[in-house]
Chains A and B, each alone.
Chain A
Amino acid sequence: MSVVIDAKDLDLTFQTNDGPVHALSNINLQVQTGEFVSFIGPSGCGKTTLLRVIADLEKPTGGSISVNGVTPEQARLARAYGYVFQAAALYPWRTIGGNISLPLEVMGIAKAERTELIRKNLELVNLTGFDKKFPWQLSGGMQQRASIARALSFDPDMLLMDEPFGALDEIVRDHLNEQLLKLWAQTKKTVVFVTHSIPEAVFLSTRIVVMSPRPGRIHEIIDCDLGDDRSLDIRESPEFLAIAHQVREGLRQGHSYDD
């Protein structure tokens, strides 16, 4: 195991018209290869901002961060990660296959290889046969699966996911959580996952980073290894409930439940 993400004393202050906003303050975090790390916290705690800093979509204003041993920008230029947004963000004028092909086209991969990669990744997210459909012909859950296939299509080492199932109903979310876990076991990718759902974080993660707002900071990092081969049933087990309780306590101490 080696360190993929290494943040030291990371700070980010947005200058707004209402004065500076401390989005991130004094973040220290290491993520190892193959880990599944979740950021959890109330809105405004900086969890999405931290993910965007890792992805080089925001620049930190203080401290240092490395991704794969280089700066986030170099990592982005080397296409080190696939990013999954809150919404599926599929291009409506492209078919599902066309959407998965998008990063491959940008990266200059030949047609024959693209076709093969589309097929492979659609199979990975159980969407075989949907490549000719347009996004609006798919349900929200299927669209988000297609967007995961798109993020995986160029085989990045890391998957950055920003509340990918936040907009879906709980039944679909449970189902996708199970599928994501299988996908993670299958592909051995490092996953950084932003969520505001405690059961989701506990069910999926190997480590849970509890964050608190104003300024956005890490309150506590909780180890959470419920072993491989988890099923949804594990959520009624005492181990699961104990960790969920610990996360909730962490959130409470971080004033997440304050008015």
Chain B
Amino acid sequence: MRERTGLSGIFYDRVLPVGTVVAVIVVAWYAFAVLLNAPFERDQAARAGTEISTSQLVSNTMAQDRPVLPAPHQVASEIWETTALKKITSKRSLVYHGWITLYSTLMGFVLGTGLGILLAVLIVHSNILDKSLMPWIITSQTIPILAIAPMLIVVLNAIDLSRFLPDALAGTHVEYIVKDVLPKALISAYLSFFPVAVGMVKGLRSPDVMHLDLMRTYNSSRSQVFWKLRWPSAVPFLFTSMKVAVAISLVGAIVGELPTGAVAGLGARLLTGSYYGQTIQIWSALVSAAVLAAMLVMLVDLSSRIVMNRMGMAR
């Protein structure tokens, strides 16, 4: 096949395949919107005792106030109105809600990744911990955390972790983090530590026997084996599991926002939307969450490329 470079290369390798899939999705979305929203229109027409033409029906299904499935352009214009046309401090701005969600996503991701790495290091260095911890780590993910997260949030809010802070921190940003962000972040951390722990156990065990023997011939200490061999070998595994972890952290944060009395965050938008039957609001929150997830995964991927390049492992 002929090598394509430059702009036409980007078009054929990236834009065309992705664009095709997006186009197919949009077309299918419109089709389903018409299909799902049509019964309501027919119903309306029947009640009014009028006939409705097919073209009228189709155009009506795409312009309902509370459609069963909003059409893509309705969601797009809602997103446009609630991002670009609102001040980002406004409670109706998706940027504001997205930021709230992003904040606890990142905090949970950092906590979860840290915990995952810590567990993996302990497991790799101790047979006893390998045997005792690993089953619990697996078990932890069989608990339907998404189902009990609302309860957990309610409990954590009742305990109010900020009580344990020194008085000097009252009213500061730290209090806000501990009180409002941490409970949601803990859900994210609970979900995201798992892929990191499993990936890192595999990564830290990935050096082959020859590399380990080599360190042994140098009479190197355990910490030297760790820092000079196990850790660098595990870096590719770390990034792969971080990609999963960051997406799952976002899910955790959104779920954590559902029961907070619907104050703020994309999860709260989903909840208020469903309270008031605002399907367009629900879908625009969903689409923003998907875009946010994609951006986070791309960011992890980008940092992975940079690190791998520096480590000489990118070909």
Tell me, yes or no, whether A249 is within 8 Å of chain B by CB. no
Tell me, yes or no, whether A203 is within 8 Å of chain B by CB. no
Residue of B nearest to A156 (CB): B217
The smallest beta-carbon distance between A28 and chain B, in angstroms, is: 25
> What residues of B have a CB within 8 angstroms of the CB of A83 in the complex?
213-214, 217
The smallest beta-carbon distance between A80 and chain B, in angstroms, is: 10
Chain B residues within CB distance 8 Å of chain A:
210-211, 213-220, 224, 228-229, 232, 235, 311-313, 315
Of B217, B232, B312, the residue contacting A55 (CB under 8 A) is: B217
Among A15-23, A86-94, A111-119, the stretch in contact with B: A86-94
Per-residue B-contact encoding for A20-34, CB less than 8 Å = 1, 0 else: 000000000000000
Tell me, yes or no, whether A105 is within 8 Å of chain B by CB. yes
The smallest beta-carbon distance between A161 and chain B, in angstroms, is: 12
Measured in the bound complex, the distance between the Cα atoms of B14 and A29 in whole Å is 65
Residue of B nearest to A95 (CB): B312
Task: Give 12 CB contacts A-B under 8 Å.
Answer: A57-B216, A83-B213, A83-B217, A89-B214, A93-B232, A93-B312, A93-B313, A102-B228, A103-B218, A106-B219, A106-B224, A106-B228
Pair B228/A105 contact, Cβ less than 8 Å:
yes
Besides the known contacts A57-B213, A85-B210, 11 further A-B residue pairs in the complex with CB atoms under 8 A apart: A57-B216, A81-B217, A83-B217, A85-B213, A92-B312, A92-B313, A95-B312, A102-B218, A105-B228, A136-B312, A136-B315
Tell me, yes or no, whether A76 is within 8 Å of chain B by CB. yes
Tell me, yes or no, whether A59 is within 8 Å of chain B by CB. no
In order of increasing CB-CB distance, the 4 nearest A-B pairs are A134-B312, A93-B311, A106-B220, A106-B218
The smallest beta-carbon distance between B86 and chain A, in angstroms, is: 47
Measured in the bound complex, the distance between the Cα atoms of B225 and A103 in whole Å is 11
> What residues of A have a CB within 8 angstroms of the CB of B224 in the complex?
106
Measured in the bound complex, the distance between the Cα atoms of B220 and A128 in whole Å is 28
Measured in the bound complex, the distance between the Cα atoms of B10 and A91 in whole Å is 34
The smallest beta-carbon distance between B85 and chain A, in angstroms, is: 48
The smallest beta-carbon distance between B307 and chain A, in angstroms, is: 10
Residue of A nearest to B208 (CB): A89
Give the one of B214, B217, B218, B219 with max A CB within 10 A. B217
Measured in the bound complex, the distance between the Cα atoms of B315 and A83 in whole Å is 29
Chain A residues within CB distance 8 Å of chain B:
55, 57, 76-77, 79, 81-83, 85-87, 89, 91-95, 102-103, 105-107, 134, 136
The smallest beta-carbon distance between B28 and chain A, in angstroms, is: 44
Measured in the bound complex, the distance between the Cα atoms of B215 and A85 in whole Å is 12
> What residues of B have a CB within 8 angstroms of the CB of A81 in the complex?
217
Measured in the bound complex, the distance between the Cα atoms of B224 and A46 in whole Å is 31
Residue of A nearest to B224 (CB): A106
> What residues of A have a CB within 8 angstroms of the CB of B235 in the complex?
93
> What residues of B have a CB within 8 angstroms of the CB of A55 in the complex?
217
> What residues of B have a CB within 8 angstroms of the CB of A82 in the complex?
217
The smallest beta-carbon distance between B309 and chain A, in angstroms, is: 11
Pair A57/B218 contact, Cβ less than 8 Å:
no
Measured in the bound complex, the distance between the Cα atoms of B218 and A76 in whole Å is 7
Give the one of A87, A89, A102, A106 with max B CB within 10 A. A106
> What residues of B have a CB within 8 angstroms of the CB of A86 in the complex?
210
Pair A87/B210 contact, Cβ less than 8 Å:
yes
> What residues of B have a CB within 8 angstroms of the CB of A106 in the complex?
215, 218-220, 224, 228
> What residues of B have a CB within 8 angstroms of the CB of A134 in the complex?
312
Pair A91/B229 contact, Cβ less than 8 Å:
yes
The smallest beta-carbon distance between B272 and chain A, in angstroms, is: 49
The smallest beta-carbon distance between B180 and chain A, in angstroms, is: 41
Pair B216/A85 contact, Cβ less than 8 Å:
no
Measured in the bound complex, the distance between the Cα atoms of B63 and A190 in whole Å is 87
Measured in the bound complex, the distance between the Cα atoms of B137 and A153 in whole Å is 44
> What residues of A have a CB within 8 angstroms of the CB of B213 in the complex?
57, 83, 85
Pair A79/B228 contact, Cβ less than 8 Å:
no
> What residues of B have a CB within 8 angstroms of the CB of A57 in the complex?
213, 216-217
Measured in the bound complex, the distance between the Cα atoms of B213 and A85 in whole Å is 10
> What residues of B have a CB within 8 angstroms of the CB of A76 in the complex?
216-217, 219
Measured in the bound complex, the distance between the Cα atoms of B232 and A81 in whole Å is 26
Measured in the bound complex, the distance between the Cα atoms of B209 and A87 in whole Å is 12
The smallest beta-carbon distance between A178 and chain B, in angstroms, is: 26
Pair A91/B232 contact, Cβ less than 8 Å:
yes
The smallest beta-carbon distance between B261 and chain A, in angstroms, is: 49
> What residues of B have a CB within 8 angstroms of the CB of A85 in the complex?
210, 213-214
Measured in the bound complex, the distance between the Cα atoms of B315 and A92 in whole Å is 11
> What residues of B have a CB within 8 angstroms of the CB of A79 in the complex?
218-219
The smallest beta-carbon distance between B104 and chain A, in angstroms, is: 34
> What residues of B have a CB within 8 angstroms of the CB of A77 in the complex?
219
Measured in the bound complex, the distance between the Cα atoms of B84 and A153 in whole Å is 62
Measured in the bound complex, the distance between the Cα atoms of B306 and A99 in whole Å is 21
The smallest beta-carbon distance between B211 and chain A, in angstroms, is: 6
Asked, given contacts A106-B224, A106-B228, A134-B312, whether A91 binds B217 with beta carbons under 8 Å apart, the answer is no
